[in-house]
Amino acid sequence: MKGVLALDAQGLVKTVGNGRAARRVLDGADLRVHSDEVVAVLGRSGSGKSTLLHLLGGLDAPDDGQITVAGERLTGRSSRALSRIRLRHIGFVFQQFQLIDELSGLENVLVPTRLPGAPSGGARRAAKLIDELGLTRVAGHRPHELSGGEQQRFAIARALVNGPELILADEPTGSLDQGNGAIVLELLANLRGRAVVLVTHEPGAAAIADRVLSLDSGLLGERFDEQRRRAWGDS
Amino acid sequence: MGRQLISACREAWLALRMRRRRVLLSAVGIALAAAMLSAAIVIAEGLGRGFTRAARTAQMGDLIVRFDPVPAREASQRIRALPDVAGFALRMEIRNVPISYAGHETTGGVGEILSPRARQGYAVVAGHNLGRSQRGVLIEPGLASAWHIHLGARISLGVAGTQRVVGLVEGPDDVGFPLGAARFYIRRSTLEVPGRRYPSPPVDFAEVWLRNPRYVNEVLVQARSESFGLRHLQFATRGGVQVLVNQAAGIVIDLLVALSVIALATAAVLLAASARAEVQRRMRAIGISRAVGATRGHVAAVQALETTIVTVPAATIGVLAGLLATYSPDDRLLALLNEPGPGAGLAQPLLLGWLASIALPVAGAAWPAWSAAGRAVIALLRGADVGSGGRRRRRSRRRSRRSRGGGLAGLGARLVAARRARLLATVTMLASSTAFVLLMLALAGALSSLETDPQELGKHYQITASAPPTAAARIARAPGVLAAEPRYEVHAVDEYALGELVDVIAYPLDHTLFEAPPLASGGRLHGNHEAEVGVGLANALGLAPRSELLLELPSGKQLRLRVSGTVSSLEDEGLVAYVPASALLTADPSVPSQVAVLLRPGANQSTVFGELARMGADPQTTEGATARGAPLVAVLKTILRAIAIVDGLVCIYALVQACALTMQERRRTVAVLRACGGGGSAIRRLLLGTVLALVLPAAIAGIALERFLFGPALAHLAAGYASLDLTPTLTEVVAILAGLAVAGGASILWVSRAATRESVVAGLAG
């Protein structure tokens, strides 16, 4: 059963590069994602998957089209307003984890809670998440003392700590081995009450998704069937 | 080779165009460091070698001898009897000559009556020298400048009548007007009546040149034994004068040079770090260049070329700015000291400074590229770390268990602390700059006090009135006056050291009511047979409490007193003695006096002035120690201000560059913060931590440095005969902290603006 609409993107157009090198990577792409829904976007390298994710997260602006996250319009907003929307409604998970070297795992999770305007009770939520993700034992470790899987779990905890409605994951298993990759995917699949958009070029990673879309020639289209999704879920 | 160079130049130019803001910041840093270095060179070359230059230009004698007037023939005989004498010139000095020109006048002029000798120990800097019996007068540039006297003008010279100025001359053995007396030089024939014979005119000054100046001490010993018949002999050697001059200028020059070297080193460290961050960012591009066949030298050459393109104009502008800021005041200061400016002599040290300002940053920038290009190509293509990550990793592992807090500001502090060498260099730079600016402020404050505040001399009275001693009681009854007493003052000569002039001051009652310099040792004088002496006099004569002071008054009478204590007096370089009026007047009843007037608290000085004028007493405000040296103080303040401004700009640059570098190196961290929802305020908080980590230790270290090292050292050298307080006041400390806060705030705003302008996506990509 579909929850509330967490993300609504309509007619997204984006051109990258200048002059003769200009290339239209999105050409009227539409995407609607509800809470409790995981959507995977597959595509070749350079097809514009990451660009789409950056647009959905308000990190970049589309040339045309509209994006609404948790009822807040992203397009045409100031940098300050976009920061506030990201703080409250969007969480990012990156392929390279992007943990801050100087901070321990726990401190990395706490970073979004210490930003101006963050909801209160961040420390309590961070401790709970770390406990839920099985990271309590290594919470005081620096990123270079953690395995790839642990680092990505801390990154997921950081994305979740302010309770966002939308999680945007860019190749979350791209830097992990198969075992750790599976653990991370399971975590993303089981996030309750949140919409997850996962861009990947690995069909295996897409198996956790409720819907699988393919980005081709700047347009998003349905690709994987329900059977394949269940097959991954049964394994 | 030529094609390779053109290719490298094109590559470097394109790379620079891509990061204009960072390039501009680097250029500003180089320019400021070069300006600091150039200012230091101008002042070091000007002040440090000024005396040597002056002595060489003026062909100053190796020995200067003053004595009571004797016939020239007698003085010549004595000098000719000395060994190793290459030549000598005799003069007669006449003091208190009234000089006037176009509304300006002084009664304290000093005339140097020249004997017909070729060498005279002065340098003609404009016009021409006087012929053997030519009429006319030579004056010093200080007098010409102060009174706007031009060559050919006619000035009135008392007994010498009105004379035409034929030249301007500098004599390095004394300071210029108005620091010293207004000196002029005339030929003896100017004073003589035509047609009358003068067999052996009197002289009281001799300048002696030796064949071998190394034997000056031996000649001095001989001169003392051959001086029979010459009274009140005073000797000064060229080396002795030079030591005194260099001692005074030495610490200022040392401080300036040290500070400029620190500034340049810091700029080099920051530029090297900037280049390192840039190389890190371009690691893959370097890998590709290496993969397609570029040599390690080519990669380093491109980086060196990039830096050279930025450094050459920046260093040129900086050197010229430093030169412009300090050359003119330095020249004015030297003119006051009767020393010529360095002129073309500056070219070589400035060229060396310019080359250093280019070479250091270029080397600092090329090294990281050379080092990076030496790595395996495959590692470069993977974007390897250019630095010694292993060492940092081991260090951080040891400390990783510690719990830390501090939020975003704490994170900012930790980011900047991660680069320890740079942190240390920046903190050292900021601390030394803070200490230096504090010292400048304290010095300027002390100079102003000495110039305007008689209290600095221990003088409590505010007015002196030209009136007989008997008028003191009447003046004391005037409205607004608390007390008035006769103040006797006379210059005496000490009987033991032959020639030390002592300023003898006396009051009929307790002198401490009117002037009381702080006691350095012993106690105040009691009774008619005791005296307080200045530390300068005590040091010169080896006096201590209970020693005997024996003075010869101008009347030839002696004054014998026991020293009760020593006082820290800045007046007359501490060559001062407070004695009981009864003892002084017993020895010489004709000692001149004025009336010292102490005002009631809150009394209006101008009202009292008017009242005293009505009574026929000519009132004058009491002067500070350097009142006559106002032009010197003004020039010094200009120099101090110029250096302090450059220093402050270097401080701001160091802060901005350190913050910008931290943000540049940690652009991923900044991008992550922004992706998590951090806006401009989050970045500013992060930078606040960075700035505090740099500024707080620097401020503490800077204040301590000035309080315990620079201040005491300069105070000691500036006035070894008195206590000159160069401790920074609370206001000065607050001012410097406010300055640092403003610099920090400016850095935060500048860097956060640049950081938030960058695309988050580009930041995440590293």
ipTM of the complex: 0.87
Q: Note whether B735 and B442 are within 8 A (CB).
A: no
> Taking a contact as any Cβ pair under 8 Å apart, which residues of chain A between 4 and 63 contact chain B?
54, 57, 59-60
In whole angstroms, what separates CA A27 from the centre of its chain?
22
Q: What is the Cα–Cα distance from A4 to A152, expressed in whole angstroms?
A: 28
Q: What is the Cα–Cα distance from B577 to B557, expressed in whole angstroms?
A: 16
Task: From residue B498, give the alpha-carbon distance in Å to each of B204, B223, B416, B494, B551.
Answer: 15, 14, 65, 6, 10
Structure tokens that stand for B759 in this block: 């695309």
> For A177-229, what is each residue's pLDDT tens digit?
888 888 888 888 888 788 999 998 877 777 888 899 988 888 888 765 554 55
Which helix or strand (DSSP H or E) is residue B556 part of? none
Q: What is the Cα–Cα distance from A166 to B220, expressed in whole angstroms?
A: 96
Which helix or strand (DSSP H or E) is residue A214 part of? strand A211-216
Chain B positions touching A87 (Cβ under 8 A) are: 676-678
Nearest CB to A59; choose among B400, B680, B760: B760
DSSP of B565-583: EEE---GGGG-EEEEEHHH
Structure tokens that stand for A70 in this block: 């948790």
DSSP of B258-272: HHHHHHHHHHHHHHH
Nearest to B112 by CA among B183, B170, B18: B183
Residue type, A33: V
> Taking a contact as any Cβ pair under 8 Å apart, which residues of chain A between 79 and 108 contact chain B?
79-80, 83-88, 90, 92, 94, 98, 100-104, 107
Which helix or strand (DSSP H or E) is residue B69 part of? strand B63-71
Q: Which residues contact B467 (CB under 8 A, 6 or more apart)?
A: B475, B594, B595, B615, B616, B617, B618
Q: What is the Cα–Cα distance from A156 to B218, expressed in whole angstroms?
A: 90
Task: From residue A191, give the alpha-carbon distance in Å to each of A36, A86, A148, A164.
Answer: 7, 18, 20, 11
Q: Does B674 touch chain A (CB under 8 A)?
A: yes
What does residue B740 show for φ and ψ, rounded to 5 degrees?
Answer: -65, -40
CB hemisphere CA count around B410 (13 angstroms):
13
Query: What sign results for the dihedral spanned by CA atoms B326, B332, B336, B338?
Result: positive
> Taking a contact as any Cβ pair under 8 Å apart, which residues of chain A between 144 and 183 contact chain B?
144-145, 158, 162
In whole angstroms, what separates CA B576 from the centre of its chain?
26
Task: From residue B253, give the alpha-carbon distance in Å to each of B41, B259, B433, B642.
Answer: 9, 10, 15, 15
| SS3 call for B381 | helix
Nearest to B431 by CA among B741, B642, B645, B695: B695
Average pLDDT over residues A124-129: 91
Q: What is the Cα–Cα distance from B581 to B247, expressed in whole angstroms?
A: 37
> Which H, E and C letters describe A171-189, residue by residue?
CCCCCCCHHHHHHHHHHHH
CB spacing of A145 vs B679 below 8 angstroms? no
Q: Does A77 touch chain B (CB under 8 A)?
A: no
Return the DSSP state at B374: T
Q: What angle do CA A36, A41, A42 make, to 5 degrees?
A: 145
Residue type, B203: V
> Taking a contact as any Cβ pair under 8 Å apart, which residues of chain B between 394 and 423 contact chain A?
396-397, 400-401, 403-404, 407-408, 411, 414-415, 418
> For B442-458, what is each residue's pLDDT tens digit?
777 766 665 555 455 56
Nearest CB to A140; choose among B400, B678, B682: B400
Query: What sign results for the dihedral spanned by CA atoms A85, A86, A87, A91?
Result: positive
| pLDDT value of position A8 | 94
Report the 10 Å Cβ neighbour count for A149: 18
Q: What is the Cα–Cα distance from A103 to B415, expressed in whole angstroms?
A: 10
Token pair 């004054």 in the structure block, residue? B559
Q: Is the pTM of this model over 0.95?
A: no
What does residue B133 show for φ and ψ, rounded to 5 degrees?
Answer: -135, 30
Chain B positions touching A59 (Cβ under 8 A) are: 675, 759-761, 764
Q: What is the Cα–Cα distance from B42 to B337, expressed in whole angstroms?
A: 16
What does residue A7 show for φ and ψ, rounded to 5 degrees?
Answer: -140, 130
> For B676-720, what is each residue's pLDDT tens digit?
999 889 999 999 999 999 999 999 999 998 888 877 777 665 544
Which runs of E-coded beta strand occur in B573-709?
576-580, 593-599, 618-621
Q: What angle do CA A81, A86, A87 make, to 5 degrees?
A: 95
> For A44-81, what is each residue's pLDDT tens digit?
877 888 899 999 999 889 999 999 999 999 988 988 89
Whether the per-residue pLDDT at A94 is higher than 50: the answer is: yes
Q: What is the Cα–Cα distance from B566 to B517, expressed in whole angstroms?
A: 9
Return the DSSP state at B622: P
Q: What is the Cα–Cα distance from A34 to A193, expressed in whole angstroms?
A: 9
User: Could you tell me which chain B residue has the CA closest to the CA of A79?
Assistant: B679
Q: Note whether B687 and B411 are within 8 A (CB).
A: no
CB spacing of A60 vs B677 below 8 angstroms? no
| pLDDT value of position B352 | 92
Beta bridge partners of B594: B487
| SS3 call for B658 | helix
Q: What is the Cα–Cα distance from B236 to A184, expressed in whole angstroms?
A: 90
Report the 10 Å Cβ neighbour count for B237: 19
Structure tokens that stand for B663 in this block: 């943000």
What does residue B571 show for φ and ψ, rounded to 5 degrees?
Answer: -65, 135
DSSP of B147-213: HT--TT-EEE-GGG-EEEEEEEEE-TTSPPTTTS--EEEEEGGGTSPTT---SS-EEEEEEEEESSG
Q: Does A231 touch chain B (CB under 8 A)?
A: no
Taking each helix axis from N to C end, the angle separating B50-58 and B238-281, rounded to the nearest 10 degrees, works out to 130
Residue type, B469: P
| pLDDT value of position B320 | 93
Q: Note whether A73 and A66 are within 8 A (CB).
A: yes
What does residue A42 show for φ and ψ, rounded to 5 degrees?
Answer: -105, 155
Pairing of strands B618-621, B530-534: unpaired
Chain A positions touching B764 (Cβ under 8 A) are: 59, 94, 98
What does residue B264 show for φ and ψ, rounded to 5 degrees?
Answer: -65, -40
| pLDDT value of position B158 | 80
Q: What is the Cα–Cα distance from B652 to B646, expressed in whole angstroms?
A: 10
Residue type, B743: A
| pLDDT value of position A68 | 94
| pLDDT value of position B259 | 61
Average pLDDT per block of 10 residues along chain B, 766 residues long: 68 71 79 82 77 75 80 82 83 83 83 74 83 82 86 86 88 69 82 63 82 78 68 67 55 60 64 69 76 80 84 92 83 73 85 89 83 78 52 45 65 86 82 82 69 57 83 87 89 64 85 80 87 82 84 82 84 79 88 86 82 81 52 64 74 82 84 91 92 93 88 64 67 88 90 86 79
| pLDDT value of position B396 | 45
| pLDDT value of position B39 | 81
Structure tokens that stand for B762 in this block: 């580009």
Q: Does B393 touch chain A (CB under 8 A)?
A: yes
Task: From residue B295, give the alpha-carbon distance in Å to each of A110, B288, B290, B301, B372.
Answer: 46, 11, 6, 10, 12
| pLDDT value of position B451 | 54
> Which H, E and C letters describe B704-766, residue by residue?
HHHHHHHHHHHHHHHCCCCCCCCCCCHHHHHHHHHHHHHHHHHHHHHHHHHHHHCCHHHHHCC
